[in-house]
Amino acid sequence: MEVLLNLLEASGIEPLAALMLVVLLVFLSFLLFADRRVRLGFRPTLRPLPGFALLDGFVGQAVEAGRTLHVSMGTKGIGGASTADTMAGLMALERLAEQAVATGLKLVVTVSDPSLLPVAQDTLRRAYERRGYPQGYDPEHVRYIAPNAIAYATGVMGVLEREDVVANAMIGGFGDEFLLMGENGARKGVQQIGGASSPETLPFVYVSMDEALLGEEIYAGGAYLSSKPSHLGSLLAQDWLRSAIILAIILGVLIRTFIL
């Protein structure tokens, strides 16, 4: 790796950019190898995450009660710094949409950012098409409320009041508005799962949700919910890269301490 960094620096690339490129290349190699192993039959052992287990039970709970399921993917949208969080929410929506279409459950999806509206609508529409029931898709099940976070939270609180919601899933990019929605759902006795990566939001997720997905846990949704080889391989590659970085840090400290 040191040789590669020296070559990149010699070519005029900034040290930080060179390091990021090396990490990316290492991750891609891990990802290709992990994806190959999973496709050949290897299945990594995933530690239990009660949040995803509860999410899978939301649809059955709502169908049994004859009530509505609400899904929010946050207030950050697609194309910004919180795109990865929003995509984690979309992964949860895709899973819930498949189950909702199969059971005839009413699913209400609310969005705050205009960039997320067509993506969420397409996710729901494709779920109906995969089940062979495209005529059942209603674009009004995905509702654009407001671009302002507080206004969006107020709108979601209204949905929780009017739509007879029995379960509420909120996974994505959120701010302080999360607590408004979470506390409102908790007062109504709604079963709730929430997930976010922002350190400022995590306390609100923890105190107001029945089950919380904290930090990087939200990015593991694809592996836990769909078990597709690409998602499992990506999760496995991330674990390998994390272990490699930790080992490199430890070795660097030892070298600096005892050799240099």
Q: To which residue do tokens 């992990």 refer?
A: 34
pLDDT in tens, 85-116: 999 899 899 989 988 888 888 899 999 999 99
Phi first, then psi: give them for residue 20, nearest 5 degrees: -65, -40
Q: Residue 140: is its pLDDT beyond 80? A: yes
* Superfamily grouping for domain 50-225: NAD(P)-binding Rossmann-like Domain (3.40.50.720)
Cβ neighbour number for residue 146 with a 10 Å cutoff? 16
Rg of the chain on CA atoms, in Å: 21
Alpha carbons within 13 angstroms on the beta-carbon side of residue 5 total: 10
Q: To which residue do tokens 């070298």 refer?
A: 255
Q: Residue 220: is its pLDDT beyond 90? A: no
pTM exceeds 0.85, yes or no: no
Q: Residue 15: is its pLDDT beyond 90? A: no
* Residues 6 or more apart whose Cβ sits within 8 Å of residue 180: 150, 153, 154, 157
CA distance 260 to 256: 5
Domain residue limits, the chain: 2-42+228-258, 50-225
* Residues 6 or more apart whose Cβ sits within 8 Å of residue 48: none
Predicted confidence at residue 7, as pLDDT, reads 53
Tokens of 71: 């899904």
Q: Map residue 213 onto helix, strand or coil.
A: strand
Cβ neighbour number for residue 189 with a 10 Å cutoff? 8
